[in-house]
């Protein structure tokens, strides 16, 4: 590797060669200014990004609950009843012993966890209908507000 660098000035190659030791880079102050600007941008954009991430997790939970509800409804159409509390959501992928007309699996894959890694809760009867599929939100506990709020099929 050569210890001489060709210098460009205003887009044109300068014919004289300058030793690398005379070619200047960024000063420490310039690097610090750039780092401060990047830090300020991260401080502004970061909270907005994480707020959007929380909203998207709630949207995913609602979509998964909708898919599970449709699978439960298909189970009922075939079997003539909703899965029992003992059979739970697992009856959507594995045939229960007491379901002679079971025509599943009603889901292509295993029962998903909610976006926060907690299992969905199946209640039969539900508080407002025949059944309820519930995610207890980020904290995994009943009740709560914001991302910790319950998300239900009812």
Whether the predicted pLDDT of 97 surpasses 60: yes
CATH number for the domain spanning 65: value is: 3.30.700.10
Strands 121-123 and 12-19, how do they pair?
A: unpaired
State how many domains the chain has.
Answer: 1
Per-residue pLDDT at 116: 92
Averaged pLDDT for residues 74-82: 93
**1 or 80, higher pLDDT:** 80
Residue 20 makes CB contacts below 8 A (sequence gap 6+) with: 3, 4, 5
The two structure tokens encoding residue 55? 């909203």
Is 79 inside any structural domain? yes
**20 or 126, higher pLDDT:** 126
Is 4 inside any structural domain? no
Is 69 inside any structural domain? yes
Whether the predicted pLDDT of 7 surpasses 60: no
Averaged pLDDT for residues 77-88: 92
Q: In angstroms, rounded to a whole number, what is the distance separating the alpha carbons of residues 150 and 142?
A: 6
Residue 31 — very low, low, confident or very high, per pLDDT cuts 50/70/90?
A: confident
Is 47 inside any structural domain? no
Give the lowest-confidence range in 17-21, 31-35, 126-130.
Answer: 17-21
Which long-range contacts (C-beta less than 8 Å, at least 24 apart) are formed by 1-5? none
Q: In angstroms, rounded to a whole number, what is the distance separating the alpha carbons of residues 21 and 23?
A: 6
Is pTM beyond 0.75? Reply is no
Is 94 inside any structural domain? yes
Is 20 inside any structural domain? no
Is 135 inside any structural domain? yes
């Amino acid at each position: 590797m050569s210890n001489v660098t060709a210098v460009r000035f205003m887009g044109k190659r300068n014919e004289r060669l300058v030793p690398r030791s005379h070619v200047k880079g960024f000063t420490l102050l310039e690097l610090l200014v750039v780092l401060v600007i990047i830090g300020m941008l991260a401080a502004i954009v970061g909270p907005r990004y994480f707020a959007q991430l929380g909203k998207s997790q709630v949207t995913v939970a609602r979509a998964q609950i909708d898919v599970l509800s449709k699978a439960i409804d298909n189970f009922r159409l075939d079997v003539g009843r909703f899965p029992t509390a003992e059979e739970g959501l697992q009856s959507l992928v594995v045939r229960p012993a007491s379901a002679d007309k079971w025509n599943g699996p009603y889901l292509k894959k295993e029962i998903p966890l909610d976006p926060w890694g907690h299992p969905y809760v199946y209640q039969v009867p539900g508080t407002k209908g025949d059944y309820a599929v519930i995610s207890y939100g980020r904290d995994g506990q009943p009740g709560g507000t914001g991302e910790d709020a319950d998300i239900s099929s009812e």
